């Protein structure tokens, strides 16, 4: 039962990240179409675009970190046995956990700073700190998912195996 709840949590994080991909794409598409076809620009389209892209990056880190689908260098990993591959995976995931945890700490400082400095968008004068806060929540999600990945790599490695696709013969 625990595994099902955790997998739902992981899937939810991945769907949220996918949703931000759609939002960023829609923002860019609408801004370009309105600007080039109707000679109209969305107020703060540039600010929203860059802030949403920042959110997308941090939620994307969360989505790719658990599955291990981020960019990797497998030169050594591919040439050792399964036991050492697991050790390399655990070590690399622990390093990633440390780096992303430090990043999360520093990003919270950025959220707090933009809130205190009352940083606003250019046209509509909306506060930017909520965008930074949503990005920070994505980073917190990344830390949680990397911690789950680390736990599973150490104690439940069978849960980290890719599902085998059965073919009809």
Q: How many alpha carbons lie under 13 Å from residue 19 in its C-beta half-sphere?
A: 7
Report the distance separating Cα 30 and Cα 112, nearest Å: 31
Structural domain boundaries, residue 81: 2-160
Q: Is residue 169 part of a domain?
A: no
Q: Is residue 24 part of a domain?
A: yes
CB atoms within 10 A of CB 131: 21
Of 120 and 6, the one with more pLDDT: 120
In whole angstroms, what separates CA 135 from the centre of its chain?
9
Task: Let me know if residue 108 belongs to a domain.
Answer: yes
Cβ within 8 Å of residue 117, ≥6 positions away: none
Instruction: State residue 162's pLDDT score.
Output: 57
Contacts of 120 (CB under 8 A, 6+ apart): 126, 127, 128
What pTM was computed for the model?
A: 0.82
In a domain, 9, yes or no: yes
- Tell which wins on pLDDT, 27 or 72: 27
166 within some domain: no
Q: Does some domain include residue 168?
A: no
pLDDT, tens digit (0-9, with 9 covering 90-100), for 43-82: 999 999 999 999 999 998 888 887 766 666 678 888 888 8
Give the list of residues 6+ apart from residue 141 with CB closer than 8 angstroms, or none. Answer: 13, 16, 59, 62
| Domain presence at residue 119 | yes
pLDDT (tens digit, 9 = 90+) per residue, 79-127? 888 888 888 889 989 999 999 999 999 999 999 999 999 999 999 999 9
Count of the separate structural domains present in the chain:
1
Within a domain: 165: no
């Amino acid at each position: 039962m625990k595994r099902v709840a955790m997998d739902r949590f992981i899937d939810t994080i991945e769907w949220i990240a996918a949703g931000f991909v759609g939002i960023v794409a829609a923002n860019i598409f609408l801004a370009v179409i309105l600007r080039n076809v109707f000679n109209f620009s969305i107020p703060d389209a540039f600010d929203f675009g860059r802030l949403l892209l920042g959110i997308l990056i941090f939620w994307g880190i969360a989505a790719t970190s658990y599955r291990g689908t981020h960019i990797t260098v497998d030169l050594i990993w591919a040439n050792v046995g399964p036991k050492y591959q697991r050790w390399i995976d655990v070590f690399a995931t622990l390093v990633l956990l440390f780096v992303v945890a430090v990043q999360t700490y520093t990003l919270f400082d950025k959220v707090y700073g933009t809130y205190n400095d009352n940083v606003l968008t250019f046209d509509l004068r909306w506060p930017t700190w909520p965008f930074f806060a949503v990005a920070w929540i994505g980073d917190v999600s990344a830390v949680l998912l990397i911690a789950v990945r680390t736990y599973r790599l150490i104690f439940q490695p069978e849960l980290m195996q890719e599902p085998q696709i059965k073919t009809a013969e």
